[in-house]
Structure 1
Amino acid sequence: MDLNGLQDRPAASHTTGRDKRGLVLGMLCFVYVLNFLDRQLVSILAKPIQDSLRISDSQLGRITGFYFALFYCFIAIPVGWLADRTNRVKVLSMACGLWSAATAACGMAANYGQLVVARMTVGIGEAGGVPPSYAIISDTYPREQRGTAMGIFNLGPPLGSALGVAFGASLAAAYDWRIPFHVVGAVGVLTAIIVYLVIPEPERGRFDPVPTSAATPTQSFGSAIRAFFGNRVLAVAALASGAANFITYGLSNFATLFLMREKGMTLEDVAIWYALAVGLGMGAGIFVAGRLIDRFAVKNKAAYASIPALSLLLALPFFLGFAMVDRWEIALALLFVPLFLNSFFLPATVTFVQGEVDPGARVISGALLLLVMNLVGLGLGPTFVGMASDYFRPEHGEHALQMAYYALAPMYLVAALLFVWLARLIHKSEIGRADASTLGRQ
């Protein structure tokens, strides 16, 4: 790859006003919407895809989980290292174009093997989507506004899921399950071109307490990885996020199939009511989490971990109720609470990690966070639920997915405990820094 062709355009961050910042954030959020919409289409259209290509729950779990995550997670690391040294906006634009073209190809799959190849290519493209966006936002907004900015950016998953449900299910019900893949892919390619033309490359480290020259990345690829995983706090933050993401993807990647197969929803019901639940529940949860972080983490950095821990514990009984009740109307009402609370960890962890690392290592650090978060969550969560469903099928028949969700429930406690551990580590780290600062003044 020609690195010279990816070098930064002249930094525009010195003249970036509120309106320009809002445009940048809005464009990045829209790209994330497409990123997540493309990623979730297979899960949303699971029932008609299963009927057409004759695939099992285990195969569905692997294609929406492990196979996708295998490429998405590991390609993100070299892409992140490259973006830290070149133009992050160009990397994002090329990645968006690639995953959008691959999404369109998913609609052309005639069998399971072809769908696997297309989904892996989507994963390769999406590897260059989120980490560069994290870094662009961190160099566009000052530290005291990043929690809210990250919260708005992370509206991408709920909006993408909601639009995917409403748009994908409606088109599939009216025409065919392949049509949504073609339409969304075409929109993504057009968006990639607009991103390249509209978003300016911000100056690295503008809002950080270091000289601009110090923001220039100097770490080698290997040293950047060692620096991240050698930091115990960052490693535990990534692991805790992975456990929380295990729940999120394990639940969401089978939710429409569960509601249709075991609760009696139709595609038309899904397109309206499940879309509203996802959009309002997840969207409100992520936005509220960002606001809470900006309010409480300034006084106590341990809030980056204690807020997600509490949210997961509060969500557990409602998740169990969702899996237990018979009527889809009641199940969806109960599901709304976990949809609201499950994603509190996302803006919290992302904002924490971006604030803890050097400005010149933000993309690679975001990529490493996503590596663990998505390898554990996206790679293993849906795979576990799909395999559990097939395991329980001989004894529990049409209620196999319900039993698989019961098996998923203990992960709420595991993730909450990991965030409690993270909160203690952050607290100890802050005490150590305060003691060192006191000694330095003496």
Structure 2
Amino acid sequence: MNTATESRAYRAYVMFILVVVYTFNFIDRQIVGILAIPIKADLALTDTQLSLMGGLAFALFYTLLGIPIAWLADRGNRTWIMTIALAVWSAMTAVCGLAQNFWHLFFARLGVGVGEAGGVAPAYSLIADYFPPHQRARALAVYSFGIPIGGALGIVLGGVLSSIAGWRTAFIVVGVVGLLLAPLFRLTVREPRRGQYDTPGQDTAPVSIATVFKTLVGKPSFWTLSFGAACSSMIGYGLIFWLPSFFVRSFGAALPEFFNWLPDALLPGGGDVVLYASYFYGSILLIGGLCGIWLGGMIADRIGARSKAAYAQIPAVAFVIAVPFFVVGVMSENLGLAFFAFLTPTALSLVWLGPVLSAFQHLVTPNMRTTASAIFLFINNLIGIGLGNLVIGAISDVLNARYGVESLRYAILFGTVFYLAAAGLLFIAAKKLEKDWEH
């Protein structure tokens, strides 16, 4: 086998293992969405407490530690940092299964956030050094497959394991499997040379966080892209966390009938409403997510070669189109209609990942990429994870006196306005991208 073929094969393997790690990142991050149903009953929590545990508890240290860890990654071995991060967040996921009250679970989720702070920004930088510029939107889109795969697996595995052995066992099992993956990642993924596919002469020497900030201050598109993505993540993370509960509360009686064709082997313990909800939303997230992410990356690589503005315009248009579909899905009384109504906007709402993440890698030189990505993730996740779950949960509690179990339906409906805000910010970013691009 010649060197070029070996290089392509190894790059494919690196992408595969990065997707697997990102999948576990999202399994551990989102499994709490489906487990929120039995956790609420077992620990007697309110929707606001669930949202704090599922959102703010995770986002607090995840965002705060992301930038200093990225600063280290711009100077040191990114694969070692990712290995340690994977081990820490997996261990803390297992600890969640030992929680006896709200505060135990809250601090365990803080620990998951501590670990995951080192899992994503270094991966973005690694991909930029494994793939040339004209392939990066697609490469980052493929990496982002970990979001729908991990989100769907987290929801389905959580539902299955919870039905078989309870929510505590679900946390412990996925945490232990992640721990086993960590040494495999470290032993098989090499640290690439920084900037090896970029224009010769671009800086690769380490720089300070202050220098990165100074560079980004002069690039307005970075900030409008970041806050636009954060607005979309606010409702996106909120939906991943709350939609399983919504389907149980609003469609609980219809879910078993919708899946009456399933074989008994897929219904451990005879099946319960949580398991049916996990299959229902897991299917939507997996199918819609994979299609939307790949579509965004493919279109961006093709059109972006002619117009840098496309990296922001493509997802902006997708957000606008997604909103009416979400409204139909949320307000539907028919489960079959709700399935297809949610499938389309789930795809459209994730189109942004390939184009926007690729744009971030081109707004700075190679020696700033990990830190710049971490600054974006700080904004995106503090607002998206920290506030998305909380806002929907708090609104649901406020509306509970009037709408009862249907309060979550109207809280989710309110949240869709953030997709329109995201679209507006991305259209603004499109006007500045060409000027801010590092050619």
Selected match of 1:215 from 199, 204, 210: 204
What amino acid does structure 2 have at the position aligned with 1:33?
T
Q: CA deviation at 1:274?
A: 2.0
Q: CA deviation at 1:16?
A: 6.2
* CA distance in 2 between partners of 1:253 and 1:267 (Å): 14
**Superposition CA RMSD, Å:** 1.7
What amino acid does structure 1 have at the position aligned with 2:79?
V
CA contact (8 A) 1:204 1:216 kept: no
Q: CA deviation at 1:227?
A: 2.4
Residue 237 (structure 2) aligns with = 249
Residue 4 (structure 1) aligns with = none
Q: CA deviation at 1:245?
A: 0.8
Q: CA deviation at 1:316?
A: 0.4
Q: CA deviation at 1:427?
A: 4.8
Residue 214 (structure 2) aligns with = 226
Residue 407 (structure 2) aligns with = 400
1:358-369 aligned at under 5 Å gives the runs: 358-369=365-376
Selected match of 2:294 from 262, 282, 287: 287
* CA distance in 1 between partners of 2:217 and 2:389 (Å): 26
Residue 96 (structure 1) aligns with = 86
Residue 266 (structure 2) aligns with = none
* CA distance in 1 between partners of 2:230 and 2:294 (Å): 20
Q: CA deviation at 1:361?
A: 1.1
Residues 21-52 of structure 1 deviation map (CA, whole Å, 9 limit, x = unaligned):
00001000100000011000111211101011
Residues 263-320 of structure 1 deviation map (CA, whole Å, 9 limit, x = unaligned):
2142232233322211111111111111111111111110111001110011001100
What amino acid does structure 1 have at the position aligned with 2:347?
F
Distance 1:429 1:127, change over 3 A: closer
1:48 is the counterpart of 2:38: yes
How many residues get paired?
A: 418
1:386 is the counterpart of 2:393: yes
> What secondary structure, in the 3-state scheme, does the structure 2 residue paired with 1:301 have?
coil
* CA distance in 2 between partners of 1:406 and 1:288 (Å): 26
1:32 is the counterpart of 2:46: no
Residues 184-222 of structure 1 deviation map (CA, whole Å, 9 limit, x = unaligned):
11111111111110000000000111337x3121x2122
* CA distance in 1 between partners of 2:218 and 2:288 (Å): 36
CA contact (8 A) 2:327 2:413 kept: yes
> What secondary structure, in the 3-state scheme, does the structure 2 residue paired with 1:280 have?
helix
Q: CA deviation at 1:137?
A: 0.5
1:36-435 aligned at under 5 Å gives the runs: 36-211=26-201, 214-217=203-206, 219-264=207-252, 265=255, 266-427=273-434
**Which structure 1 segments of 5+ residues have no match?**
1-12, 435-442
* CA distance in 2 between partners of 1:66 and 1:274 (Å): 23
* CA distance in 1 between partners of 2:143 and 2:60 (Å): 24
> What secondary structure, in the 3-state scheme, does the structure 2 residue paired with 1:290 have?
helix
> What secondary structure, in the 3-state scheme, does the structure 1 residue paired with 2:351 have?
helix
* CA distance in 1 between partners of 2:217 and 2:390 (Å): 26
* CA distance in 2 between partners of 1:224 and 1:69 (Å): 23
CA contact (8 A) 2:33 2:155 kept: no
Q: Structure 2-normalised TM-score?
A: 0.92
CA contact (8 A) 1:244 1:345 kept: no
1:23 is the counterpart of 2:13: yes
CA contact (8 A) 2:219 2:436 kept: no
Query: In terms of mean alpha carbon deviation, does 353-362 or 194-203 score higher?
Result: 353-362
CA contact (8 A) 2:293 2:350 kept: yes
**Which structure 2 segments of 5+ residues have no match?**
256-272
> What secondary structure, in the 3-state scheme, does the structure 1 residue paired with 2:414 have?
helix
Residue 439 (structure 1) aligns with = none
* CA distance in 2 between partners of 1:53 and 1:227 (Å): 48
Q: CA deviation at 1:230?
A: 4.0
CA contact (8 A) 2:34 2:274 kept: no
* CA distance in 2 between partners of 1:416 and 1:221 (Å): 29
Distance 1:229 1:33, change over 3 A: farther
* CA distance in 1 between partners of 2:345 and 2:251 (Å): 18
